Amino acid sequence: MTESERFERATIFEAQNFDEKKTQNEMVLEYLEKFGEITPLEALSAIGCFRLAARIADLRAEGHEIARTMSKGKKQYAIYSLKESEA
């Protein structure tokens, strides 16, 4: 998936959840359930979350199984996804 496609997806999610009073953890989990994966840029764009890794750690502490892979290319970043047992 290209960065522009990721940004477009994040923008749509942000618009759909603009008025909702949810925690960042809830929104990250919902994003993962809806789209299957999330990157730090998507978290910032869609949720306003600067510390995605911290939110992922919170969700893991709650018992959610979340995998991390690294992007390929010059600019590396984490891509988080729900493990198969949760998806």
pTM exceeds 0.85, yes or no: no
Average pLDDT for 23-38? 94
70/67 Cα distance (integer angstroms): 10
Neighbouring residues of 62: CB distance < 8 A, sequence distance ≥ 6: 25
Domains of the chain, each with CATH number or no CATH = 3-82 (1.10.10.10)
- Which pLDDT tens digit goes with each residue over 57-85? 999 999 999 999 999 988 899 999 998 76
